[in-house]
Amino acid sequence: MTNVKLAIKGGDPVRKRPYPEWPIWNDAERDALNRVLESGKWGSLNGKEVNHFENAFAKYQGAEFGIAVTSGSTALEVSLRAVGIEAFDEVLIPAYTFVATATAVLVNAAIPVFVDIDLETYNISTSSLEQAITPNTRAIMPVHFAGRPANMDEVEQFARDHGLHIIEDAAQGWGAQWRGQGVGTFGDFGCFSFQSSKNISSGEGGIILTNDEELARMAASYMNCGRVEGGIWYAHYHLGNNYRMTEFQAAVLSSQLSRYDEQLQQRQRNMELLDRALQHLNGVQPLTPDARITRHAGHIYIFRYQAEAFDMLSKEDFVSALQAEGIPCSGGYSLPLYKQPVFQNQSYGPFTKLLKDKAAYQDIFLPNTEKACKEEAVWLPQRLLLGTENDMQDVVRAIEKIYENRHELI
């Protein structure tokens, strides 16, 4: 392969065939949508689909209660409110995550406190938690990033030691398990997303899981305009909103859930295959395995790029070369979350005046998160993991080809 021209330089790509497309759907989704359409019951206040999916997903993940909402973002927002987070409370979150983990805290008038990640796992660094705690810390939000469970032994221990609430951002964690227990069932709440790119999708949507009946009631009230169970229709008890999922979304999600296990197993097999292969390649490294992760949801396959081995070829250029070879991939987040304009410029809408002095991030530098964004993280999307064994070998071939011809790119 040594003298084969790189695709980015006009050569033939390793792959011309596409990887599986997403979303995957069939007559089950079509029938589900028609069922709702024809029933005339399009909202959860009349129909049964949302309630059915809430129970099915809660059971699937191993929780007592499920409260469906409009998105993963609103799931986080409602959960923080339901545990009683108030203005100026501090909430610990990893700096390598989607923006919603942080903005859900701000829209509750509370302060996100960014914690570095561990580069072996790309999840919150539990050894960094102690230095982030203050008398105002009320909660911790571990993110099961990419579908890989965070270290829940240490998160739970830390939360117990400091009397903190745990809200798990399991937006990417459907089916993932830590020591055999479903993520999203460890904390006060676990929050999942069903947005378009997600492994179970209805275009948009989310769910909150909990094992605590009182918390479930509070979350359901905040989700439904502050109403309470059994209350009269126009009686509103809490500062809620309308975050109700539609019957159409729930019907599609039930169909998606019915074929989920099979897809999960396929992604797992392919992740294991990539883990085994990538550890023998020059200049790339899989994340470190952990026997306590009994199931990885496989939302993103992350590997660590090492520019030193590629004669200092930048991550950006490596990713462009890999894409040109026909491998769908990206460099993921290009900025640590605290460097996003919203936080640097403190553009907090109605909360700007209130939070300006406390939610200030101009002086933070978290080295692992910086390294992940600028130098290291390469992401392969979940749809790629639904390919065949030979499809995975193409990823390996493409990386090898770029390595062998790296001098062409410098």
Per CB under 6 A, residues contacting ligand PLP are 71-73, 97-98, 100-101, 143, 169, 171-172, 193, 195, 206
Give the CA count within 13 Å in the CB-facing half-sphere of 73.
Answer: 9
The sheet carrying 293-295 orders its strands as 181-182, 177-178, 293-295
In the complex with ligand PLP, which residue's Cβ is closer, 169 or 376?
Answer: 169
In the complex with ligand PLP, which residue's Cβ is closer, 210 or 405?
Answer: 210
Question: Considering the complex, what minimum distance in angstroms separates the CB of residue 152 from ligand PLP?
Answer: 16
Question: Considering the complex, what minimum distance in angstroms separates the CB of residue 400 from ligand PLP?
Answer: 31
Radius of gyration from C-alpha coordinates of the chain: 22
Nearest in space to 385 (alpha carbons), one of 293, 290, 269: 269
Q: Are the beta carbons of 328 and 380 closer than 8 angstroms? A: yes
Cα separation, 242 vs 221, whole angstroms: 10
Cα separation, 372 vs 77, whole angstroms: 27
In the complex with ligand PLP, which residue's Cβ is closer, 80 or 100?
Answer: 100
In the complex with ligand PLP, which residue's Cβ is closer, 113 or 284?
Answer: 113
Question: Considering the complex, what minimum distance in angstroms separates the CB of residue 392 from ligand PLP?
Answer: 24
Longest dimension (CA), the chain: 75
Cα separation, 317 vs 315, whole angstroms: 5
Cα separation, 348 vs 65, whole angstroms: 33
Question: Considering the complex, what minimum distance in angstroms separates the CB of residue 207 from ligand PLP?
Answer: 10
In the complex with ligand PLP, which residue's Cβ is closer, 44 or 172?
Answer: 172
Question: Considering the complex, what minimum distance in angstroms separates the CB of residue 184 from ligand PLP?
Answer: 12
Question: Considering the complex, what minimum distance in angstroms separates the CB of residue 117 from ligand PLP?
Answer: 12
Q: Are the beta carbons of 141 and 173 closer than 8 angstroms? A: no
Question: Considering the complex, what minimum distance in angstroms separates the CB of residue 44 from ligand PLP?
Answer: 17
Cα separation, 41 vs 288, whole angstroms: 48
Question: Considering the complex, what minimum distance in angstroms separates the CB of residue 103 from ligand PLP?
Answer: 9
Q: Are the beta carbons of 113 and 137 closer than 8 angstroms? A: yes
In the complex with ligand PLP, which residue's Cβ is closer, 101 or 177?
Answer: 101
In the complex with ligand PLP, which residue's Cβ is closer, 129 or 150?
Answer: 150
Residue nearest ligand PLP by beta-carbon distance: 72
Note the residue count of the chain: 410
User: What are the percentages of helix, strand and coil residues in the chain, rounded to 5?
Assistant: 40, 15, 45
Question: Considering the complex, what minimum distance in angstroms separates the CB of residue 100 from ligand PLP?
Answer: 4
In the complex with ligand PLP, which residue's Cβ is closer, 29 or 169?
Answer: 169
**Can you point out the beta strands (E) in 54-180?**
65-69, 90-94, 111-115, 137-140, 165-169, 177-178
* Residue 371: count of CB within 10 angstroms of its CB: 16
Task: Cite the DSSP H helix spans in 224-359.
Answer: 247-258, 260-278, 315-324, 341-344, 352-355
In the complex with ligand PLP, which residue's Cβ is closer, 47 or 142?
Answer: 142
